[in-house]
Structures are given as C-alpha cells and as structure tokens.
Amino acid sequence: MDKQAEGENGMIDFLYFFINPALLKSTLVLSTPILFACLAGLFSERAGIVDIGLEGKLLLAAFGSAAFAAYTGNAWLGMFMGVFVSILFSMLHGFSAITLHGNQLISGVAVNFLAVGLTGFLGKAWFHQGGNTPALSGNSRFTAIDLPFAESIGKIPFIGAFYEDVLSGNAIWVYVALLCVPLTAFIVYKTRFGLRLLAVGEEPSAVDTAGISVPKLRYKALLISGILVGLGGVYLSNGMLAGFGPKMSAERGYMALAALIFAKWRPWQSLWSCMLFGYFAAFAIRYGSYDFPVIGRVPSQFMDALPYILTIIVLGGFIGKAIAPKAVGEPYSKEH
Amino acid sequence: MSVSIDLQQPGTPAVDIPESSRMIELRDISKSFGPVKANSGIDLIVERGKIHGIVGENGAGKSTLMSILYGFYSADRGSIEINGKKKNIKNPQDAIAAGIGMVHQHFMLVAPFSVLDNIILGEEKNFILKKTRENARAKINALAEEYEMQVDLDAITGELSVGLQQRVEILKALYREADLLILDEPTGVLTPSEADHLFRILDMLREQGKTIIIITHKLREIMAITDTVSIMRRGKMSPSIWTKDTNPKDLATLMVGRDVVLKVEKKKAKPEGEVLRVENLNVTNALGVQKLKNLSFTIRAGEVLGVAGVAGNGQTELLEILAGMMPAGSGQVLYFDEPLDISKRAKPDQRRKRGIGHIPEDRHRRGLVKPFKTWENTAFGYHNFPRYSKKYGFADQKFMREDATDKMERFDIRPRNINLPAANFSGGNQQKIVCAREIDQAPKLILIGQPTRGVDIGAIEFIHKEIIRMRDEGAAVLLISVELDEILSLSDRVIVLLDGAIVGEREADKTNVNDLGLLMAGIEEKEASNG
C-alpha cells in the first residue's frame, strides 16, 4: 500500500471516529427528550411565557408514565398519565403566570422543586425501591420499531446504512419527536394560530386590540407545550430507559432552553441544536474511557460535563446574539 | 378669568345633529380607576361623515373615553348607540364588529411581522394562512389605491418610519371595514410633512363618508381638519361646537379653565459675555453616518439660542455631546473659555458641578427614574452635592424630602405627593419634575431638549415662562425643539440643523415659520447662506 492510500485510510478512520452509526444512533436517542422539551419551550416562549419548569415537567411526566405503566401493565395508559401530569403542571404555571400575573421564573422554579420532591417521595412510598419504579417490560414498555424495508434499503451505502442502523430500531417517540419539527414549523409559520402565537409573544396589546383574547391564546400555547414536554418525559422513562429513577431528567429541561436560545426560537434550528446537545452527550458516553492519541485518557467526569459546558457557552451568549420574543416573561394586563 | 367647562363662549352655538344622521351617541359615560374619576357623565354625539375633534390636557380622560368606545375598558355607567342602535361593547371584537376602528397613540403593531401579517392579524378567515394572505393582499392594495396610502406589504413593520407605521394602522382599520375611525394623538410622532399627508388622507376618508374622531392637544390641527369640536377637562366633556365658530385662543382657555398666553411675553434679551463656544464639532455614529458636520456656534449669557430642525438631523447628538453623555469625533467646546471634555471620558456629573444643567429630550429614559419616588427624582444627578449630603457621605434624606416638597409647591406639580413614583404623574407633571430639578440649581448654562413634548398646554405655558425667567437672570440657554412655534417664541437667535450641519442662522424676531420651514427642508439653500 502506498503512502497516499494509507493517508486516506487514516482520514477515513478519523472521520469514522466522529461519525459512526453507533454514535449517531445514541445522538438521536439522547436528543429526543431534549427536542420534545425544546419544542415545548418554543410554543410557550413564543407566546410570551418563560418556562423554566420544563425540567420539572420532564421529570414528573417520566415518573407519571413509568409508575402508571408499571401499575396497569400498559405502556399507552402510562403515556396518557405522563402527559396528563405534565399538562396539569403546565396549567398550574399558566394560572400563576397568566391569570395571576405572577413572576414566571418563580413559578417555573416552584414546578422544578415540586417535581424532584414529589417524584422522590411518591416513588419511595409506592414502590419501596429507593425511588425507582419497577423495571418495565412486555406490554408496559415501548419497544424499538423496525422501519419498513430497513434490511433491503440498508444495502445502499451510506444513506442505506444510516436508515437501517441509525433511524430504524428506535421507540416510537423518537419518530414522533422528529415529526413534531415540521409540524411545529407548519403551525407556527403557516396557520392562523401560529400568527397569533408569534404576535402574542411580541406585542400582546396588538393581539388584544385586534379582538383576540390574550389569556386564552397563552393557555392554548401552554397546553401544547405541556403535551410536548410530557411526551419527552414519557420517552425518558419508557423507551430510552425502562423505568423511572430519581432525578433522571438530569437538567435536560435546561439544556432544552439553551438549545431553544441557540435556535433563536425557530423550529428547524431547534432540531439541529438539540442534535448538537445529543451528540455531545453521546460522545461523552461512547468515549468516556477512551485513550485519545496524544492527550491520552480524558477524565470521564469531564466528558460527562460536555453537554453542560455547551449549555454555558450557549447561554453565555458566545454564539451570536439571540433576540427573544419581545414580551417574553412579562404578564399582560390592559390597565397600564 | 375663570371658565366653567359647561359654559360656551358667547356667540358659539352648540351643534345640533338630527337623530337620523348620528353616527355615534354616548350618554352619561362614567369610569373610575380607584379613586380617580377618569370620565364622569360624558355625553357626545358625532355626525356621520364628519370629523370631530376632542381636545384636552394630558390626563383629561380623552384616551380613557376612546378606550371605552373601543371596548378596551368597560364603562362603569352609560350607554353607547351606533347608527341609532344601542350597542353593548364589551371587548375590541364587539367594537370591530360595530364598525369602529382605532389608531392608538402607541401603535399596536408587531414589529418583526410583515405589514401584511399585521393587517390580517385577528381577521384571518381560514386556519391555513395562504388563502387569507392572497385575498388580503388584493383587498389592501385596492384600499391603498383608493386612499393614496401605498405601503410595501412585505416590508418588516418595525423597519418602517413612524408615518408609514401609522398608515399600516389606518389600513388595518379600513381592512376591517370600519365606518368610524378613532385617532388618538395621531400627529404626536409625525414630522410636519407626514402630518400634512395624514390630514389629506383623513379628508379623503371623510369624502368617502367615513366618520372620524381625532384626539389631540394641538389646537392648530383641530382648526385645520375638524368640523366639530368638544373639550374635555378633568373627566368632563363640553357640548360640541362648530370648529368654524371658534378659535384657538378660546379653545385653549376652555381646555385649561383659565386664560392661556399662547405667545410668550418677554422683554428683549440683554446678552452679555460668551458662555459656550462650539468649534468644528464632528461626530460619526456606529453605522458610519456623519451625524454632526463641522458645527460652530456660540451662546452668550442671557440669551436663548434655538436649534430648529426636523427630528433626527443631529439635535440629539449635539445635546448629548454637550451634556457629556456621548463622545464627539473631533472639535472643541469652550465653556467660559475653558475646554469641556468631549472625549469618551466625559462625565455628566462633572458638567453639573461646573454649572451646566440638562433637561433631556427623553424624560422617560434620561430624565427620570420612573419607579423611584418624586423626592428622589428631584435630587438625582445632584445627590452627591454638598447640599444633599450629610457628614461622612451619607445622603441627607430629610432635606431631600423638604426640598422636593418645596419644589412641588413652586412648580405646581400635581398631585402634591413626594412619595409617588415618577411614573404615576402625567407627562406635563413629569416634565415639571425634571425642570424643577435642573432649573432650581440655577445653572449658568442650561441644555434643553424638547421641553414640551407630550406636555399639556398649562404646563407648556409654565415651562416657557421658566425658561425666559432663567434667561433674564443671566443664564445661557440652548433650546432644541421640533416645535417651530416654541423655537420662535422663546429664542433670541435660531440656528437650523439639516443633516448635521447648520444651514442657516436667524434673529428670532426677523424670521417666521415659513422661512425656517424652508431652511429645515433644505430648500433655497442659496438664500439661506446669504442670510
């Protein structure tokens, strides 16, 4: 083998190190709950409601769905319970933020505190497994789905391999999350509801004087937000893993907010920025104890911290200037 | 002379409109906010196809009344009839359905939206926008054609000029097929030529049979455009009178409830030594646009130098450089023959220590800390001065309060409550707070920007008198204003700024509105340079 070919091989190995099916698949898996939460945040923040409670709702929905799936033995019933719990807390946040004109950060933080306390307390009281719910299996679990023709398409190089080894073989919620991206883009940019949603987050008084109820519109946005983040929680405890563990949301709700800022509150960009967070998390898991050339082994704690470091970089405004919806975080009242 | 709001001037007959041609009839409308009676027992009839003006000072209750008509607030009492039918207007949706459109003082537009999206917001017929947008485009273009209100429907609304944004608001109302158009202080933010264009549009709307209610405190506009007029004062409304039967002076008297001197009475100035000398001042902004070009002028003690010009021609930059808030590019400023720091190290409080007062253009952002109490606001900027300090650098809050009480009394600031946040005062009273603070330090030079913007007539008169009093006591006054009447009645000399350069200088008593207007517009520059 001549030198040039050797160099090319080295190049391919190098690329393979960063882009390989196993790494991409776990990127997809790890970014799914973040993507759900991020799109949830998009609906609520575009409507003018800051939702720092995404983190708590992820955890609550994860607990609700795993607990109820374990109790009923039915994954779908578990899903409904998870989403219901998430909507419930979304409405609670909405009642404080919209109806009572409360401070949105504070009620969001309250949701987060409640989530950790409630899930830990109820988990221990009900299941006596140190806060864990029983492992889900059989009908109580969402299993991986093979996409149609995965094997035959898989024979096409690159794209086929991507289809078979990365896209195919995930739980249903991964596909739902991916479908939610174009759906969100369509709703936000092409529909009457979307136009009003964008307007109410920028200039609620313009919406009010146009004869549309600001509170109703904001509650609707929070309802959608609650459903989406609820599905993220469902996937977390039933799909990505097979059971609930204490604090399993692991700050993904905050990462979602960082990803949302990075995406400048836009749907497609949300997909890419969530994938970036997922990629960092996957990279940390895959190469947590890997001997890198030259630098050697990187402490696994550092690798685990990668997504959080990315969060700090994004939130610190190192990546361009992100202009939030103008009215975000401000309660709306006519009596100015 | 004391005038009751219920009385009319002798010889001005009340308007009597037959029932069949009444577009709108308000009866006994009342509304209170807590203890404040914003509207009490208001009756108003407006004839179809006419323009009715409502004048009144800030806080007289005009905007509240119109917000009730538009369903933004609900009245505590009273009834509304439209075209002879009683209507219960609970929210803007009801008002829109009843054919009422409103252009608010602060525009109700979503800045990042296209003009098209702003117009259709709330009136989208289908869930999917595509069809609505297409239909709306055709309809709006037809409207724009009919009323000469061309505007690019795909432009980003927030990037349009204020005049164009207002046009979008009017189109919004017409798109909703409004028969009655309410305009709240429509010219407050417009340049004179934009205002003229607005009046032409309103004229055209009237010809098409639309009814218009215009709220303003500018009497000249009332005289120019309205058919009938009524006056509001302290929540009450006078009977309507024909505009042609009245005059600005009578209206002003009715507005404030006493005689108002529209022309400022002043003696001839006796200017003495030079206080400020500006030489070759230049500044370029962040976008690379040169905002001031080789500006040179002087002001002497005991004279008012007026700076006229359309807003945005360098006045703000000039004021902020002199006040130490913005660095200049090049040039020199001498104050009593000693240089003033105009670099980026310049500090406003250094200016104050040397006896330079500043009444900023934007009292909300620069002049006041709105959530703070009046007694704090009357000391801010001077709070480190010995008179407000005790030993060891502690603030003398007791004196600050006494001082504020005294200032509120002397400047007639209402309500007389030193603990009220500045935000809770009307525009005129807020401006008086700023003036009281700056004027009371007896500065040797005072920089004044737009002293009466958004201020009611009573306060304007007071502020004008104070400015002349300072001049007579020997202060040098730099007066920047977009109101030509104000410039002409207060100044001794006038310079005109256009594109950051001085395009003309006049003795105030040897010029007039037309002459300055031409200079401001850049017409007949040759004549200007000869003058």
Q: Where are the domains of chain B?
A: 19-256, 274-530
Inter-chain contacts counted by CB atoms under 8 A, chains A and B: 73
Answer whether residue A30 is part of any domain.
Answer: yes
Answer whether residue A69 is part of any domain.
Answer: yes
Q: Cα–Cα distance between B181 and B213 in angstroms, integer?
A: 6
- Judging contacts by C-beta atoms under 8 Å, the chain A residues touching residue B170 are none
Query: Which residue does chain A place closest to B116, by CA atoms?
Result: A195
Which residues have CB under 8 Å from A183's CB, separation 6+?
A: none
Characterise B139 by phi-psi region: left (phi > 0), alpha (psi -120 to 50), beta (else).
alpha
Tell me, what's the pLDDT at B260? 58
Please return the burial class of B485, using the count of CB atoms within 10 Å of its CB with bins 0-12, 13-18 and 19+: middle
Query: Which residue does chain B place closest to A334, by CA atoms?
Result: B72
Domains in chain A, number? 1
**What is the three-state SS of B361-374?**
CCHHHHHCCCCCEH
Residues of A with CB under 8 A from a CB of B: 190-196, 198-199, 202-203, 205-213, 326, 334-335
Q: Cα–Cα distance between A278 and A296 in angstroms, integer?
A: 24
Domain B274-530 has CATH 3.60.10.10: no
- Greatest Cα pair distance, chain B, in angstroms, is 76
- Which residue in the block uniquely carries the two structure tokens 């009003």? A196
Q: Min CA distance, B93 vs chain A (Å)? A: 4
- Which of A191, A196, A326 is opposite residue B121, by nearest beta carbon? A196
Residue of B106, B110, B130 to mutate for A, most A C-beta atoms under 10 A: B110
- Which residue in the block uniquely carries the two structure tokens 């950790």? A116
Distances (CA, A) of A282 to A21, A276, A304, B271, B333: 12, 10, 9, 79, 63
- Which residue in the block uniquely carries the two structure tokens 């009919």? B146
H-type helices in B357-512, by residue range?
374-377, 397-410, 427-439, 457-472, 484-490
The alpha-carbon radius of gyration of chain B (Å, integer) is 25
State both tokens at B355. Answer: 């006896």
Q: Min CA distance, B421 vs chain A (Å)? A: 14
Phi, psi of B100 (to 5 degrees): -105, 130
Tens digit of each residue's pLDDT (9 = 90 or more) over A279-298: 989 988 888 777 777 777 77
Answer whether residue A275 is part of any domain.
Answer: yes
Q: Min CA distance, A159 vs chain B (Å)? A: 34
Q: Indicate the SS3 state at residue A182.
A: helix
Tell me, what's the pLDDT at B4? 45
Cβ pair A143, A172 in contact under 8 A: no
Look up the CATH number of the domain holding residue A121.
1.10.3470
H-type helices in B280-333, by residue range?
315-322
pLDDT means over runs of 10, chain A (336 residues):
65 82 92 97 96 96 96 95 97 95 93 95 92 89 85 80 84 95 96 96 93 95 97 95 92 93 93 93 84 78 82 73 83 71
- Which residue in the block uniquely carries the two structure tokens 């960009």? A269
H-type helices in chain A, by residue range?
3-18, 21-46, 54-72, 75-94, 104-127, 150-153, 159-161, 172-190, 192-202, 204-209, 214-237, 252-262, 267-286, 300-315
- Judging contacts by C-beta atoms under 8 Å, the chain B residues touching residue A196 are 121-122
Q: Would you call the peptide bond into A157 cis, given omega within 30 degrees of 0 as the criterion?
A: no
Cβ pair B409, B380 in contact under 8 A: no
Q: Does B128 touch chain A (CB under 8 A)?
A: yes
Residue of A183, A186, A190, A195 to mutate for B, most B C-beta atoms under 10 A: A195
Which residues have CB under 8 Å from A279's CB, separation 6+?
A: A23, A27, A31
Tell me, what's the pLDDT at B186? 87
CA torsion sign, A167 to A172 to A173 to A178? positive
Please report how the helices A252-262 and A214-237 are oriented relative to each other, as an axis angle in degrees rounded to 10.
120
Task: Determine the structural domain holding residue A310 and report its residue range.
Answer: 20-315
State both tokens at B292. Answer: 């001031």
- Polymer length of chain A: 336
Cβ pair A226, A87 in contact under 8 A: yes
Which amino acid is residue B69, in one-letter code? Answer: L
Full DSSP string of B505-526: EEEGGG--HHHHHHHHHT--HH
Instruction: Classify strands B180-184 and B211-216 as parallel, antiparallel or unpaired.
Output: parallel
- Greatest Cα pair distance, chain A, in angstroms, is 80
Which pLDDT tens digits describe chain B residue by residue (531 residues)? 334 445 444 445 567 888 888 899 999 999 987 767 889 899 999 999 999 999 887 667 888 899 899 998 889 999 999 998 998 998 899 999 999 999 988 889 999 999 999 999 999 988 999 999 999 999 999 999 888 888 999 999 988 888 889 999 999 999 999 999 999 888 876 777 788 889 999 999 999 999 999 998 777 788 889 999 998 887 888 888 899 888 877 787 777 666 555 677 888 888 999 999 999 999 988 777 788 999 999 999 999 999 988 777 889 899 999 999 999 999 999 999 999 999 999 999 899 999 999 999 888 889 999 999 999 999 999 998 999 999 888 999 999 999 999 999 999 888 889 999 998 887 788 999 999 999 999 999 999 998 987 777 788 888 999 999 999 999 999 999 877 888 988 999 999 998 899 999 999 989 887 788 778 777 654 444 443
- Name the nearest CA neighbour of A325 among B147, B416, B110, B88: B110
Q: Cα–Cα distance between B421 and B380 in angstroms, integer?
A: 14
- Polymer length of chain B: 531
Please report how the helices A214-237 and A192-202 are oriented relative to each other, as an axis angle in degrees rounded to 10.
100
Do the domains B19-256 and B274-530 sit in the same CATH topology, yes or no?
yes
Answer whether residue A132 is part of any domain.
Answer: yes
Query: Which residue does chain A place closest to B103, by CA atoms?
Result: A209
State both tokens at B252. Answer: 């002003």
Q: Does B130 touch chain A (CB under 8 A)?
A: yes
Q: Cα–Cα distance between B173 and B168 in angstroms, integer?
A: 9
Answer whether residue A336 is part of any domain.
Answer: no
Class of domain B19-256: alpha beta
State both tokens at B453. Answer: 């913007």
Q: Min CA distance, B438 vs chain A (Å)? A: 29
Q: Cα–Cα distance between B526 and B523 in angstroms, integer?
A: 9
Q: Cα–Cα distance between B69 and A184 in angstroms, integer?
A: 38
- The C-alpha angle A173, A176, A181, rounded to 5 degrees, equals 135
Q: Cα–Cα distance between B111 and B102 in angstroms, integer?
A: 18
Q: Does B34 touch chain A (CB under 8 A)?
A: no
H/E segment holding residue B339: strand B338-339
- Name the nearest CA neighbour of A262 among A11, A17, A14, A34: A34
State both tokens at B395. Answer: 């603030």
- Name the nearest CA neighbour of A222 among A42, A60, A102: A42
Full DSSP string of B423-453: GGS-HHHHHHHHHHHHHTT--SEEEEESTTT
Query: Which residue does chain A place closest to B132, by CA atoms?
Result: A192
Answer whether residue A172 is part of any domain.
Answer: yes
